[in-house]
Structure 1
């Protein structure tokens, strides 16, 4: 039995070959490949303003993936935009926020990646640094400029967490890094499962292992190393979706 995994979509403006500006509802194919390769059936859930059918689609899903994207709008966690805030999409963020809350209320397994992790933290009452420079400590470079599928820095896993178990109980891994915002105060009922050398929260999870946030992009790392242990994150998530 292969679980149905809903992948929440994004949107972007794009010029087609005829130079006609169009709004695109889309998702990165890497997520689709990662789900398929590791035992799941992907279902894309597109953004459309006022689209109530997304809630019906989520009901049909065994698990959900919230993917990366633009910055999270700080109004969702009670802050005004600061100068180093990047591009945001308020309507899309409201859509994702509401569906995140809905998925949590329905007790769906959720894998939240990069922006998705940040959105999960906000949906559970946490907040973010709008830019790494606003932390009260020196930060590593977390927005790599090389091939985004390649490892960039070390991540240290906390013993006895679910992610530590999933990744063969190893103490350290190398991951890519594609963000400039990060978790500030942790959301309700979340525990930190890994950090970087500069003590930035790289992943968190709930105590049941039903919801997991990953700050790096495991789906991208499968491009440079198809046998990467990042597969094990998607394998675990697909198995959790079947059991839920």
Structure 2
């Protein structure tokens, strides 16, 4: 039997002193973590989930000790988890509010990680923040805060309901997403974000929008690199629930690209 696919995940990063968290013990340390639901989403496809650590200026392990290209060569694909905001500095802006300063350390780490996987010919899939990061690193910009900058937009986040906050998406025709869901024009997804794509990056196409206000909900790179992303969290949709989007074809498409990348790479040395 062939060995299972090895899918890497960018680390979510917790830094001591994060506003709203005042705890002792492990919370006094910098934490890199993989959220359980997103790991289980990939595990449902028969793949193995592995988190890729980051390195910051204060780390014991220094930048030169961690070559992200080694991970890109060893693994079959990359998933960018959700998490903190992308730092406005990453797309040439300044925070319009202190709460929106984002995570510049994670931005730089994930940009290098994406570049390593693309260079290795491996597929990259972004979730929520991942969609925003992919757009920014390729030359796009973000709305820093939908409620304040687009007051006529629908609510895209409800902290009291978190992953149980939903709205419809419209799947655009003649896209890869439309091909994966033949005949499905609209679907219902969770929505847990206050930022969104403002200017779409060159080389990307929109695959889904929110029909209520036009917010971009899914994108894909139209070049040789396999890069796709969604604004919702597929890991939070309950499998088999007819009331929400079935993300299984989306996962299968990503894993199929990972299999193809493994075949191109040939036997491991």
TM-score by length of 2: 0.82
Match of 2:41 among 34, 37, 41: 34
Give the aligned partner of residue 237 of structure 1. Answer: 254
Q: Which moved more, 1:224-233 or 1:168-177?
A: 224-233
Higher alpha-carbon Rg: 2
Distance 2:26 2:155 in 1: 36
Distance 1:86 1:189 in 2: 27
* Deviation at residue 106 of structure 1 after TM alignment: 3.0
Give the aligned partner of residue 219 of structure 1. Answer: 235
| Contact 1:117-1:213 at 8 Å conserved across structures | yes
| Contact 1:71-1:85 at 8 Å conserved across structures | no
* Deviation at residue 151 of structure 1 after TM alignment: 5.4
Residues 16-165 of structure 1: matches in 2 within 5 Å?
18=25, 21-49=28-56, 50=63, 52-83=66-97, 85-86=99-100, 88-133=102-147, 135=149, 138-150=152-164, 152-165=166-179
Aligned length: 244
Distance 2:216 2:121 in 1: 24
Secondary structure, in 3 states, of the residue corresponding to 2:8?
Answer: strand
Distance 1:8 1:117 in 2: 13
| Contact 1:151-1:221 at 8 Å conserved across structures | no
Secondary structure, in 3 states, of the residue corresponding to 1:154?
Answer: strand
Match of 1:202 among 213, 217, 226: 217
The 1:84/1:202 distance shift into structure 2, 3 A limit, reads farther
| Contact 2:123-2:257 at 8 Å conserved across structures | yes
Q: Which moved more, 1:183-192 or 1:18-27?
A: 18-27
Secondary structure, in 3 states, of the residue corresponding to 2:102?
Answer: coil
- After superposition, what is the alpha-carbon deviation per residue over 1:58-117, rounded to whole angstroms, capped at 9, x for unaligned? 221111101101110111111111127525222222111222233233332111010011
| Contact 1:39-1:235 at 8 Å conserved across structures | no
Secondary structure, in 3 states, of the residue corresponding to 1:71?
Answer: coil
TM-score by length of 1: 0.89
| Contact 2:237-2:246 at 8 Å conserved across structures | no
Gaps of 5+ in 2: 17-21, 57-62, 262-269
Distance 1:93 1:44 in 2: 16
| Contact 1:7-1:65 at 8 Å conserved across structures | yes
Gaps of 5+ in 1: none
Q: Using CA pairs below 8 Å that are at least 6 residues apart, which structure has the higher relative contact order?
A: 1
* Deviation at residue 3 of structure 1 after TM alignment: 1.9
